[in-house]
A and B are shown apart, each in its own frame.
Chain A
Amino acid sequence: MNDFSFDVAHLLAGGLVLVSFMMIYQDRLQALITVFALHAVVLSASVAWQAFVQDATHLFVTAGIALFFKGMIIPTALHRIMRRLGIHREVEQVVGAGITMLAGMGLVALSIVLMLDLTAASGDVYVREDLAFALSVILLGLLMMVTRRNAVSQVVGFMSLENGLILAATGAKGMPLVVEISVAFSVLIAFIVIGVFLFRIRERFDTVDVGALDSFRGDKA
Protein backbone atom coordinates (compact mmCIF):
# COMPACT_ATOMS: atom_id res chain seq x y z
CA MET A 1 0.00 0.00 0.00
CA ASN A 2 2.84 2.29 0.91
CA ASP A 3 4.52 1.62 -2.40
CA PHE A 4 1.31 2.21 -4.30
CA SER A 5 0.54 5.50 -2.55
CA PHE A 6 4.07 6.70 -3.20
CA ASP A 7 3.70 5.71 -6.84
CA VAL A 8 0.51 7.75 -7.15
CA ALA A 9 2.11 10.77 -5.49
CA HIS A 10 5.11 10.41 -7.77
CA LEU A 11 2.79 10.13 -10.77
CA LEU A 12 0.87 13.29 -9.90
CA ALA A 13 3.89 15.40 -8.99
CA GLY A 14 5.81 14.23 -12.05
CA GLY A 15 2.71 14.87 -14.11
CA LEU A 16 2.70 18.46 -12.88
CA VAL A 17 6.26 18.93 -14.15
CA LEU A 18 5.23 17.33 -17.43
CA VAL A 19 2.28 19.72 -17.81
CA SER A 20 4.65 22.64 -17.14
CA PHE A 21 6.74 21.44 -20.08
CA MET A 22 3.61 21.12 -22.17
CA MET A 23 2.87 24.76 -21.43
CA ILE A 24 6.28 25.75 -22.70
CA TYR A 25 5.70 23.72 -25.87
CA GLN A 26 2.42 25.47 -26.76
CA ASP A 27 2.46 28.11 -29.41
CA ARG A 28 -1.17 29.21 -29.48
CA LEU A 29 -2.74 31.29 -26.73
CA GLN A 30 -6.03 29.41 -26.51
CA ALA A 31 -4.22 26.09 -26.16
CA LEU A 32 -1.92 27.62 -23.55
CA ILE A 33 -4.84 28.64 -21.36
CA THR A 34 -6.40 25.20 -21.68
CA VAL A 35 -3.15 23.52 -20.65
CA PHE A 36 -2.95 25.91 -17.71
CA ALA A 37 -6.38 24.72 -16.63
CA LEU A 38 -5.03 21.15 -16.83
CA HIS A 39 -2.07 22.27 -14.69
CA ALA A 40 -4.46 23.44 -12.00
CA VAL A 41 -6.44 20.19 -12.17
CA VAL A 42 -3.31 18.05 -11.78
CA LEU A 43 -2.21 20.28 -8.89
CA SER A 44 -5.49 19.87 -7.08
CA ALA A 45 -5.36 16.10 -7.63
CA SER A 46 -1.85 16.01 -6.20
CA VAL A 47 -2.80 18.11 -3.19
CA ALA A 48 -5.90 15.99 -2.61
CA TRP A 49 -3.83 12.81 -2.66
CA GLN A 50 -1.39 14.31 -0.19
CA ALA A 51 -4.33 15.25 2.00
CA PHE A 52 -5.53 11.66 1.86
CA VAL A 53 -2.13 10.21 2.68
CA GLN A 54 -1.22 12.68 5.39
CA ASP A 55 -4.71 12.77 6.87
CA ALA A 56 -4.77 16.57 6.74
CA THR A 57 -8.25 17.78 5.95
CA HIS A 58 -7.35 21.42 5.45
CA LEU A 59 -5.40 20.37 2.40
CA PHE A 60 -8.66 19.20 0.85
CA VAL A 61 -9.82 22.78 1.09
CA THR A 62 -6.63 23.90 -0.61
CA ALA A 63 -7.24 21.41 -3.39
CA GLY A 64 -10.78 22.65 -3.78
CA ILE A 65 -9.65 26.28 -3.94
CA ALA A 66 -7.04 25.42 -6.56
CA LEU A 67 -9.55 23.51 -8.64
CA PHE A 68 -12.25 26.15 -8.40
CA PHE A 69 -10.25 29.30 -8.87
CA LYS A 70 -7.37 28.19 -10.99
CA GLY A 71 -9.00 25.38 -12.82
CA MET A 72 -12.25 27.08 -13.71
CA ILE A 73 -12.59 30.77 -12.92
CA ILE A 74 -9.24 32.09 -14.07
CA PRO A 75 -9.07 30.21 -17.38
CA THR A 76 -12.60 31.30 -18.22
CA ALA A 77 -11.73 34.88 -17.34
CA LEU A 78 -8.59 34.71 -19.45
CA HIS A 79 -10.55 33.37 -22.39
CA ARG A 80 -12.99 36.25 -22.06
CA ILE A 81 -10.20 38.80 -21.80
CA MET A 82 -8.67 37.38 -24.91
CA ARG A 83 -11.90 37.59 -26.82
CA ARG A 84 -12.46 41.18 -25.73
CA LEU A 85 -8.91 42.26 -26.43
CA GLY A 86 -9.13 40.52 -29.77
CA ILE A 87 -5.85 38.70 -29.45
CA HIS A 88 -6.02 35.36 -31.12
CA ARG A 89 -2.42 35.24 -32.07
CA GLU A 90 0.38 32.90 -31.43
CA VAL A 91 2.63 33.13 -28.46
CA GLU A 92 5.72 35.04 -29.50
CA GLN A 93 8.82 33.48 -28.08
CA VAL A 94 12.21 35.01 -27.55
CA VAL A 95 14.10 31.85 -28.47
CA GLY A 96 12.81 28.70 -30.13
CA ALA A 97 10.78 26.07 -28.28
CA GLY A 98 13.63 23.57 -28.51
CA ILE A 99 16.14 25.70 -26.63
CA THR A 100 13.57 26.71 -24.04
CA MET A 101 12.76 23.06 -23.38
CA LEU A 102 16.45 22.19 -23.07
CA ALA A 103 16.93 25.04 -20.64
CA GLY A 104 13.89 23.76 -18.76
CA MET A 105 15.49 20.31 -18.56
CA GLY A 106 18.61 21.86 -17.09
CA LEU A 107 16.56 23.75 -14.51
CA VAL A 108 14.67 20.60 -13.52
CA ALA A 109 17.94 18.68 -13.15
CA LEU A 110 19.39 21.50 -11.07
CA SER A 111 16.41 21.69 -8.74
CA ILE A 112 16.32 17.91 -8.29
CA VAL A 113 20.01 17.73 -7.42
CA LEU A 114 19.74 20.71 -5.09
CA MET A 115 16.61 19.70 -3.22
CA LEU A 116 17.54 16.07 -2.83
CA ASP A 117 20.89 17.08 -1.36
CA LEU A 118 19.36 19.68 0.94
CA THR A 119 16.67 17.42 2.31
CA ALA A 120 18.88 14.36 2.66
CA ALA A 121 18.57 14.53 6.44
CA SER A 122 14.83 14.07 6.39
CA GLY A 123 13.62 10.56 5.80
CA ASP A 124 10.14 11.38 4.51
CA VAL A 125 10.06 10.53 0.82
CA TYR A 126 6.85 12.43 0.09
CA VAL A 127 8.30 15.69 1.39
CA ARG A 128 11.58 15.37 -0.46
CA GLU A 129 9.95 14.53 -3.72
CA ASP A 130 7.33 17.26 -3.43
CA LEU A 131 9.94 19.90 -2.71
CA ALA A 132 12.17 18.82 -5.59
CA PHE A 133 9.31 18.87 -8.07
CA ALA A 134 7.85 22.05 -6.63
CA LEU A 135 11.11 23.91 -7.17
CA SER A 136 11.16 22.57 -10.73
CA VAL A 137 7.67 23.89 -11.39
CA ILE A 138 8.60 27.29 -9.90
CA LEU A 139 11.71 27.56 -12.06
CA LEU A 140 9.79 26.46 -15.14
CA GLY A 141 7.18 29.14 -14.44
CA LEU A 142 9.94 31.73 -14.22
CA LEU A 143 11.39 30.41 -17.47
CA MET A 144 8.03 30.85 -19.14
CA MET A 145 7.80 34.43 -17.95
CA VAL A 146 11.30 35.21 -19.16
CA THR A 147 10.98 33.74 -22.64
CA ARG A 148 7.63 35.12 -23.69
CA ARG A 149 6.87 38.44 -25.29
CA ASN A 150 3.13 38.37 -24.83
CA ALA A 151 1.75 39.76 -21.58
CA VAL A 152 -1.03 37.16 -21.33
CA SER A 153 1.43 34.29 -21.49
CA GLN A 154 3.56 35.97 -18.85
CA VAL A 155 0.52 36.05 -16.58
CA VAL A 156 -0.02 32.34 -17.16
CA GLY A 157 3.62 31.72 -16.29
CA PHE A 158 3.17 33.66 -13.07
CA MET A 159 0.11 31.58 -12.17
CA SER A 160 1.92 28.34 -12.76
CA LEU A 161 4.75 29.60 -10.55
CA GLU A 162 2.24 30.04 -7.79
CA ASN A 163 1.01 26.50 -8.35
CA GLY A 164 4.52 25.33 -7.64
CA LEU A 165 4.48 27.27 -4.39
CA ILE A 166 1.27 25.52 -3.38
CA LEU A 167 2.84 22.15 -4.08
CA ALA A 168 5.85 23.06 -1.96
CA ALA A 169 3.58 24.17 0.85
CA THR A 170 1.72 20.89 0.68
CA GLY A 171 4.94 18.99 0.88
CA ALA A 172 6.12 20.97 3.86
CA LYS A 173 3.02 19.78 5.68
CA GLY A 174 2.57 22.77 7.76
CA MET A 175 1.02 25.71 6.02
CA PRO A 176 -1.92 26.96 8.03
CA LEU A 177 -5.16 27.50 6.23
CA VAL A 178 -5.15 31.22 6.94
CA VAL A 179 -1.86 31.71 5.14
CA GLU A 180 -3.18 29.57 2.34
CA ILE A 181 -6.27 31.65 1.84
CA SER A 182 -4.41 34.93 2.06
CA VAL A 183 -1.86 33.78 -0.52
CA ALA A 184 -4.62 32.69 -2.85
CA PHE A 185 -6.45 35.99 -2.47
CA SER A 186 -3.34 38.02 -3.05
CA VAL A 187 -2.72 36.17 -6.26
CA LEU A 188 -6.30 36.82 -7.27
CA ILE A 189 -5.91 40.53 -6.60
CA ALA A 190 -2.65 40.58 -8.53
CA PHE A 191 -4.44 38.90 -11.38
CA ILE A 192 -7.24 41.44 -11.39
CA VAL A 193 -4.77 44.30 -11.32
CA ILE A 194 -2.81 42.80 -14.19
CA GLY A 195 -6.01 42.30 -16.13
CA VAL A 196 -6.95 45.94 -15.66
CA PHE A 197 -3.51 46.99 -16.77
CA LEU A 198 -3.76 44.83 -19.86
CA PHE A 199 -6.88 46.66 -20.90
CA ARG A 200 -5.30 50.04 -20.28
CA ILE A 201 -2.17 49.09 -22.18
CA ARG A 202 -4.23 47.84 -25.06
CA GLU A 203 -6.29 51.01 -25.15
CA ARG A 204 -3.27 53.24 -25.06
CA PHE A 205 -0.84 51.48 -27.31
CA ASP A 206 -3.01 49.12 -29.36
CA THR A 207 -0.77 46.21 -28.52
CA VAL A 208 0.16 44.00 -25.58
CA ASP A 209 3.61 43.20 -26.83
CA VAL A 210 5.87 44.23 -23.97
CA GLY A 211 8.72 44.74 -26.40
CA ALA A 212 6.80 47.50 -28.12
CA LEU A 213 6.39 49.27 -24.79
CA ASP A 214 10.13 49.79 -24.67
CA SER A 215 9.99 52.16 -27.61
CA PHE A 216 7.81 54.54 -25.60
CA ARG A 217 10.38 55.08 -22.90
CA GLY A 218 11.41 58.70 -22.85
CA ASP A 219 15.03 58.36 -21.95
CA LYS A 220 16.66 58.23 -25.36
CA ALA A 221 19.09 61.10 -25.60
Chain B
Amino acid sequence: MALVVALAPLLVGLIRKVKARLNRRRGAPIIQPYRDLMRLMRKEVVLAENASWLFRSVPYMVFAATWVAAALVPTFAAGLQFSWTADLIAIVALLGSARFFLALAGMDIGTSFGGIGSSREMMIATMAESAMLLTVFSVALIAGSTQLSSVSMYMTSSAGLRVTAGMALIALVIVAVAENGRIPVDNPSTHLELTMVHEAMVLEYSGRHLAMIELAAALKLLLYVSLIACIFFPWGIATDGSISGYAVGVLTYLGKLTGGGIALAIFETSIAKMRVFRIPDFLGAALMLGLLGTLLLFVSRSL
Protein backbone atom coordinates (compact mmCIF):
# COMPACT_ATOMS: atom_id res chain seq x y z
CA MET B 1 0.00 0.00 0.00
CA ALA B 2 2.73 2.47 0.86
CA LEU B 3 4.57 1.59 -2.36
CA VAL B 4 1.86 3.02 -4.63
CA VAL B 5 1.60 6.29 -2.71
CA ALA B 6 5.36 6.72 -2.81
CA LEU B 7 5.66 5.95 -6.51
CA ALA B 8 2.70 7.93 -7.86
CA PRO B 9 4.29 11.42 -7.92
CA LEU B 10 7.43 9.88 -9.40
CA LEU B 11 5.44 8.56 -12.33
CA VAL B 12 3.88 11.97 -12.93
CA GLY B 13 7.30 13.59 -12.76
CA LEU B 14 8.70 11.08 -15.25
CA ILE B 15 5.91 11.73 -17.75
CA ARG B 16 6.38 15.48 -17.51
CA LYS B 17 10.12 15.14 -17.96
CA VAL B 18 9.78 12.95 -21.04
CA LYS B 19 7.20 15.30 -22.57
CA ALA B 20 9.51 18.24 -21.94
CA ARG B 21 12.42 16.44 -23.53
CA LEU B 22 10.33 15.59 -26.57
CA ASN B 23 9.51 19.29 -26.86
CA ARG B 24 13.22 20.09 -26.71
CA ARG B 25 12.99 21.64 -23.27
CA ARG B 26 15.01 20.57 -20.25
CA GLY B 27 11.96 20.12 -18.06
CA ALA B 28 11.66 20.09 -14.28
CA PRO B 29 13.45 17.34 -12.33
CA ILE B 30 11.61 14.07 -11.87
CA ILE B 31 11.10 14.66 -8.16
CA GLN B 32 9.43 18.04 -8.72
CA PRO B 33 5.92 16.70 -7.95
CA TYR B 34 7.08 15.77 -4.43
CA ARG B 35 8.26 19.31 -3.94
CA ASP B 36 4.97 20.65 -5.27
CA LEU B 37 3.05 18.53 -2.79
CA MET B 38 5.23 19.67 0.10
CA ARG B 39 4.75 23.27 -0.93
CA LEU B 40 0.98 22.90 -1.12
CA MET B 41 0.85 21.24 2.28
CA ARG B 42 2.59 24.17 3.88
CA LYS B 43 0.26 26.74 2.39
CA GLU B 44 -2.82 28.19 3.94
CA VAL B 45 -6.20 27.01 2.72
CA VAL B 46 -8.38 29.75 1.26
CA LEU B 47 -11.95 28.55 1.48
CA ALA B 48 -14.97 30.16 -0.17
CA GLU B 49 -17.48 31.64 2.21
CA ASN B 50 -20.29 29.30 1.29
CA ALA B 51 -18.26 26.08 1.19
CA SER B 52 -19.91 23.31 3.15
CA TRP B 53 -18.57 20.42 5.22
CA LEU B 54 -18.79 18.28 2.08
CA PHE B 55 -16.30 20.50 0.29
CA ARG B 56 -13.81 20.20 3.13
CA SER B 57 -14.07 16.43 3.51
CA VAL B 58 -14.17 15.42 -0.19
CA PRO B 59 -10.35 15.59 -0.66
CA TYR B 60 -9.91 12.99 2.08
CA MET B 61 -12.71 10.79 0.72
CA VAL B 62 -11.36 10.96 -2.82
CA PHE B 63 -7.84 10.21 -1.67
CA ALA B 64 -8.95 7.31 0.53
CA ALA B 65 -11.06 5.67 -2.20
CA THR B 66 -8.35 6.06 -4.84
CA TRP B 67 -5.64 4.79 -2.49
CA VAL B 68 -7.66 1.70 -1.59
CA ALA B 69 -8.34 1.00 -5.28
CA ALA B 70 -4.68 1.51 -6.21
CA ALA B 71 -3.48 -0.64 -3.34
CA LEU B 72 -5.74 -3.50 -4.38
CA VAL B 73 -4.19 -3.90 -7.85
CA PRO B 74 -1.46 -6.55 -7.74
CA THR B 75 1.73 -4.72 -8.54
CA PHE B 76 4.67 -6.97 -7.88
CA ALA B 77 3.07 -10.04 -6.34
CA ALA B 78 -0.18 -11.94 -6.65
CA GLY B 79 -1.79 -13.83 -3.83
CA LEU B 80 -0.86 -11.39 -1.09
CA GLN B 81 -2.94 -11.05 2.04
CA PHE B 82 -6.39 -9.69 1.17
CA SER B 83 -5.67 -10.08 -2.53
CA TRP B 84 -8.97 -11.89 -2.86
CA THR B 85 -10.75 -8.59 -2.30
CA ALA B 86 -9.23 -7.18 -5.47
CA ASP B 87 -12.28 -7.51 -7.65
CA LEU B 88 -12.14 -5.67 -10.97
CA ILE B 89 -15.71 -4.45 -10.76
CA ALA B 90 -15.15 -3.23 -7.19
CA ILE B 91 -12.06 -1.30 -8.28
CA VAL B 92 -13.98 0.34 -11.13
CA ALA B 93 -16.76 1.24 -8.70
CA LEU B 94 -14.32 2.67 -6.11
CA LEU B 95 -12.91 4.98 -8.76
CA GLY B 96 -16.49 5.82 -9.62
CA SER B 97 -17.23 6.90 -6.06
CA ALA B 98 -14.11 9.05 -5.98
CA ARG B 99 -15.29 10.75 -9.15
CA PHE B 100 -18.84 11.07 -7.78
CA PHE B 101 -17.68 12.98 -4.72
CA LEU B 102 -15.27 15.13 -6.68
CA ALA B 103 -18.11 16.12 -9.03
CA LEU B 104 -20.26 16.99 -6.01
CA ALA B 105 -17.44 19.15 -4.64
CA GLY B 106 -17.30 20.96 -7.97
CA MET B 107 -20.96 21.88 -7.57
CA ASP B 108 -20.61 22.91 -3.94
CA ILE B 109 -19.40 26.49 -4.22
CA GLY B 110 -21.93 27.42 -6.86
CA THR B 111 -19.71 28.83 -9.58
CA SER B 112 -20.13 28.21 -13.27
CA PHE B 113 -16.65 26.73 -13.61
CA GLY B 114 -17.45 24.01 -11.12
CA GLY B 115 -20.60 23.22 -13.04
CA ILE B 116 -18.69 23.00 -16.33
CA GLY B 117 -16.17 20.60 -14.86
CA SER B 118 -18.72 18.41 -13.12
CA SER B 119 -21.11 18.13 -16.05
CA ARG B 120 -18.39 17.35 -18.57
CA GLU B 121 -16.76 14.92 -16.19
CA MET B 122 -20.02 13.04 -15.70
CA MET B 123 -20.58 12.85 -19.45
CA ILE B 124 -17.11 11.43 -20.00
CA ALA B 125 -17.59 9.13 -17.03
CA THR B 126 -20.85 7.79 -18.43
CA MET B 127 -19.18 6.56 -21.56
CA ALA B 128 -15.83 5.66 -20.04
CA GLU B 129 -17.34 3.60 -17.24
CA SER B 130 -19.54 1.63 -19.64
CA ALA B 131 -16.58 0.98 -21.91
CA MET B 132 -14.51 -0.03 -18.87
CA LEU B 133 -17.15 -2.47 -17.67
CA LEU B 134 -17.44 -4.03 -21.12
CA THR B 135 -13.67 -4.42 -21.18
CA VAL B 136 -13.86 -6.00 -17.73
CA PHE B 137 -16.48 -8.39 -19.10
CA SER B 138 -14.20 -9.41 -21.98
CA VAL B 139 -11.26 -9.93 -19.66
CA ALA B 140 -13.40 -11.84 -17.17
CA LEU B 141 -14.77 -14.04 -19.95
CA ILE B 142 -11.24 -14.85 -21.08
CA ALA B 143 -9.86 -15.47 -17.62
CA GLY B 144 -12.95 -16.91 -15.97
CA SER B 145 -12.99 -14.58 -12.97
CA THR B 146 -13.08 -10.92 -12.06
CA GLN B 147 -10.53 -11.27 -9.31
CA LEU B 148 -7.30 -9.62 -10.37
CA SER B 149 -4.86 -12.14 -8.92
CA SER B 150 -6.47 -15.03 -10.77
CA VAL B 151 -6.70 -12.94 -13.96
CA SER B 152 -2.99 -12.17 -13.99
CA MET B 153 -2.08 -15.74 -13.14
CA TYR B 154 -4.27 -17.00 -15.99
CA MET B 155 -2.74 -14.56 -18.46
CA THR B 156 0.77 -15.58 -17.43
CA SER B 157 0.11 -19.26 -17.85
CA SER B 158 -1.93 -19.44 -21.02
CA ALA B 159 -0.52 -16.74 -23.22
CA GLY B 160 -1.70 -16.99 -26.76
CA LEU B 161 -2.47 -14.71 -29.63
CA ARG B 162 -5.86 -13.46 -28.75
CA VAL B 163 -7.70 -10.90 -30.82
CA THR B 164 -10.05 -10.26 -27.94
CA ALA B 165 -7.20 -9.52 -25.55
CA GLY B 166 -5.71 -7.09 -28.05
CA MET B 167 -9.03 -5.31 -28.48
CA ALA B 168 -9.52 -5.23 -24.71
CA LEU B 169 -6.06 -3.71 -24.33
CA ILE B 170 -6.77 -0.92 -26.82
CA ALA B 171 -10.16 -0.25 -25.22
CA LEU B 172 -8.56 -0.11 -21.77
CA VAL B 173 -5.90 2.32 -22.97
CA ILE B 174 -8.60 4.58 -24.42
CA VAL B 175 -10.56 4.46 -21.17
CA ALA B 176 -7.40 5.11 -19.14
CA VAL B 177 -6.61 8.19 -21.21
CA ALA B 178 -10.16 9.47 -20.77
CA GLU B 179 -10.42 8.76 -17.04
CA ASN B 180 -7.09 10.36 -16.19
CA GLY B 181 -7.79 13.46 -18.16
CA ARG B 182 -4.80 13.17 -20.50
CA ILE B 183 -4.58 14.48 -24.03
CA PRO B 184 -6.63 13.95 -26.26
CA VAL B 185 -9.48 14.06 -23.76
CA ASP B 186 -8.38 16.77 -21.35
CA ASN B 187 -5.23 18.79 -20.93
CA PRO B 188 -3.77 18.27 -17.45
CA SER B 189 -1.71 21.44 -17.57
CA THR B 190 -4.23 23.95 -18.82
CA HIS B 191 -6.34 26.60 -17.18
CA LEU B 192 -8.47 27.70 -20.09
CA GLU B 193 -12.20 27.17 -19.72
CA LEU B 194 -12.57 25.70 -23.16
CA THR B 195 -10.25 22.87 -22.37
CA MET B 196 -10.91 22.17 -18.69
CA VAL B 197 -12.61 19.19 -17.22
CA HIS B 198 -10.76 18.01 -14.13
CA GLU B 199 -9.12 21.36 -13.45
CA ALA B 200 -12.51 23.09 -13.50
CA MET B 201 -13.90 20.82 -10.80
CA VAL B 202 -11.01 21.50 -8.41
CA LEU B 203 -10.68 25.20 -9.22
CA GLU B 204 -11.65 26.36 -5.73
CA TYR B 205 -9.30 24.03 -3.83
CA SER B 206 -6.05 25.28 -2.30
CA GLY B 207 -3.40 24.30 0.21
CA ARG B 208 -3.49 20.87 1.79
CA HIS B 209 -6.83 20.02 0.16
CA LEU B 210 -5.37 20.58 -3.28
CA ALA B 211 -2.35 18.49 -2.31
CA MET B 212 -4.63 15.55 -1.48
CA ILE B 213 -6.50 15.88 -4.75
CA GLU B 214 -3.31 16.12 -6.83
CA LEU B 215 -1.93 13.05 -5.07
CA ALA B 216 -5.18 11.22 -5.71
CA ALA B 217 -4.98 12.08 -9.42
CA ALA B 218 -1.42 10.77 -9.55
CA LEU B 219 -2.53 7.60 -7.76
CA LYS B 220 -5.29 7.12 -10.33
CA LEU B 221 -2.79 7.31 -13.16
CA LEU B 222 -0.54 4.82 -11.39
CA LEU B 223 -3.54 2.55 -10.88
CA TYR B 224 -4.41 2.46 -14.54
CA VAL B 225 -0.82 1.79 -15.62
CA SER B 226 -0.53 -0.97 -13.01
CA LEU B 227 -3.87 -2.41 -14.11
CA ILE B 228 -2.80 -2.58 -17.75
CA ALA B 229 0.51 -4.11 -16.70
CA CYS B 230 -1.13 -6.63 -14.38
CA ILE B 231 -3.71 -7.85 -16.89
CA PHE B 232 -1.93 -7.66 -20.22
CA PHE B 233 1.75 -7.81 -19.33
CA PRO B 234 1.73 -9.99 -16.23
CA TRP B 235 5.20 -11.51 -16.61
CA GLY B 236 7.35 -11.08 -13.56
CA ILE B 237 4.61 -10.91 -10.96
CA ALA B 238 5.69 -13.07 -8.04
CA THR B 239 3.39 -15.96 -7.28
CA ASP B 240 5.43 -18.07 -4.93
CA GLY B 241 6.02 -15.71 -2.02
CA SER B 242 9.78 -15.99 -1.88
CA ILE B 243 11.99 -12.96 -1.27
CA SER B 244 13.76 -13.38 -4.59
CA GLY B 245 10.37 -13.61 -6.29
CA TYR B 246 9.33 -10.37 -4.65
CA ALA B 247 12.55 -8.66 -5.68
CA VAL B 248 12.08 -9.74 -9.29
CA GLY B 249 8.46 -8.60 -9.07
CA VAL B 250 9.40 -5.16 -7.78
CA LEU B 251 12.05 -4.68 -10.44
CA THR B 252 9.77 -5.73 -13.29
CA TYR B 253 7.02 -3.55 -11.88
CA LEU B 254 9.30 -0.51 -11.86
CA GLY B 255 10.31 -1.34 -15.41
CA LYS B 256 6.67 -1.61 -16.51
CA LEU B 257 5.85 1.72 -14.86
CA THR B 258 8.73 3.41 -16.62
CA GLY B 259 7.77 1.89 -19.94
CA GLY B 260 4.13 2.87 -19.50
CA GLY B 261 5.04 6.41 -18.52
CA ILE B 262 7.31 6.90 -21.52
CA ALA B 263 4.69 5.44 -23.88
CA LEU B 264 2.03 7.78 -22.48
CA ALA B 265 4.32 10.78 -22.84
CA ILE B 266 5.09 9.93 -26.48
CA PHE B 267 1.38 9.37 -27.19
CA GLU B 268 0.41 12.71 -25.65
CA THR B 269 3.07 14.61 -27.51
CA SER B 270 2.14 13.20 -30.89
CA ILE B 271 -1.60 13.85 -30.83
CA ALA B 272 -3.75 16.97 -30.45
CA LYS B 273 -6.58 17.47 -27.99
CA MET B 274 -10.07 16.72 -29.25
CA ARG B 275 -13.13 18.96 -29.12
CA VAL B 276 -15.27 18.10 -26.14
CA PHE B 277 -18.09 16.69 -28.24
CA ARG B 278 -15.81 14.42 -30.19
CA ILE B 279 -14.86 12.66 -26.98
CA PRO B 280 -18.04 10.53 -27.01
CA ASP B 281 -17.05 9.25 -30.46
CA PHE B 282 -13.63 8.37 -29.11
CA LEU B 283 -15.08 6.56 -26.13
CA GLY B 284 -17.76 5.02 -28.29
CA ALA B 285 -14.94 3.39 -30.25
CA ALA B 286 -13.72 1.86 -26.98
CA LEU B 287 -17.24 0.60 -26.26
CA MET B 288 -17.48 -0.95 -29.70
CA LEU B 289 -14.09 -2.58 -29.28
CA GLY B 290 -15.24 -4.09 -26.02
CA LEU B 291 -18.43 -5.41 -27.63
CA LEU B 292 -16.63 -6.70 -30.69
CA GLY B 293 -14.03 -8.40 -28.53
CA THR B 294 -16.75 -10.17 -26.57
CA LEU B 295 -18.46 -11.29 -29.77
CA LEU B 296 -15.23 -12.63 -31.23
CA LEU B 297 -14.56 -14.45 -27.99
CA PHE B 298 -17.86 -16.24 -28.21
CA VAL B 299 -17.10 -17.27 -31.75
CA SER B 300 -13.78 -18.81 -30.89
CA ARG B 301 -15.23 -20.48 -27.82
CA SER B 302 -18.13 -22.18 -29.49
CA LEU B 303 -16.07 -23.60 -32.32
Contact = CB atoms under 8 A, between A and B. Distances in A.
**A and B directly contacting (CB within 8 A):** yes
Nearest to B298: A112
A116 B292 CA distance: 17
B299 A25 contact: no
Interface stretch (B59-67, B94-102, B161-169, B192-200): B161-169
Interface stretch (A97-105, A164-172, A190-198): A97-105
Nearest to B289: A18
Given A7-B160, A14-B163, A15-B163, A116 B299 contact: yes
Interface residues of B, number: 20
B300 interface: yes
Contacts of B160: 3-4, 7
A53 to B, nearest CB: 14
A97 B282 CA distance: 11
A184 to B, nearest CB: 28
Contacts, number: 54
B300 A18 contact: no
A7 B142 CA distance: 14
A129 B280 CA distance: 32
Contact of A129 (B166, B291, B295, B299): B299
A109 B281 contact: no
Interface in B53-106: none
A136 to B, nearest CB: 9
Interface string A1-21: 001100110110011011001
Interface string B265-291: 000000000000000110011001001
Contacts of A128: 303
A129 B303 CA distance: 8
A210 interface: no
B302 interface: yes
A132 interface: yes
Given A112-B295, A116-B302, A129-B300, A11 B163 contact: yes
Contact of A7 (B161, B288, B299, B302): B161
Contacts of B166: 11
B6 interface: no
A15 to B, nearest CB: 7
Interface in B144-174: 160-163, 166-167
A108 interface: yes
A3 B303 CA distance: 12
Contacts of B298: 112
Nearest to B299: A112
A125 interface: yes
Give the residue among A10, A108, A128 with the most B Cβ atoms within 10 A: A10
A161 B299 CA distance: 21
A101 B299 CA distance: 19
Give the residue among A7, A14, A105 with the most B Cβ atoms within 10 A: A14
B123 interface: no
Interface residues on A, range: 20 to 34
A14 B302 CA distance: 15
A105 B288 contact: yes
B123 to A, nearest CB: 14
Given A98-B284, A132-B299, A11 B292 contact: no
B37 to A, nearest CB: 41
A174 to B, nearest CB: 20
Contacts of B292: 17-18, 21, 105, 108
B167 A18 contact: yes
A10 B300 contact: yes
B296 interface: yes
Contacts of B281: 25, 97-98
Contacts of B161: 4, 7-8, 10-11
A97 B285 CA distance: 10
A10 B163 contact: yes
A125 B303 contact: yes
A109 B163 contact: no
A139 B292 CA distance: 15
Nearest to A98: B284
22 contacts: A4-B160, A7-B160, A8-B161, A10-B161, A10-B163, A10-B299, A10-B300, A11-B161, A15-B163, A18-B163, A18-B167, A25-B281, A97-B284, A98-B284, A105-B288, A105-B292, A108-B292, A112-B295, A116-B299, A129-B300, A132-B299, A133-B299
Given A14-B163, A15-B163, A125-B303, 11 more contacts: A7-B161, A10-B296, A18-B163, A21-B288, A21-B292, A97-B284, A101-B284, A101-B288, A105-B288, A105-B295, A129-B303
Interface of A: 3-4, 7-8, 10-11, 14-15, 17-18, 21, 25, 97-98, 101, 105, 108-109, 112, 116, 125, 128-129, 132-133
Q: Which 4 A-B pairs have the closest CB atoms?
A: A14-B163, A7-B161, A125-B303, A14-B296
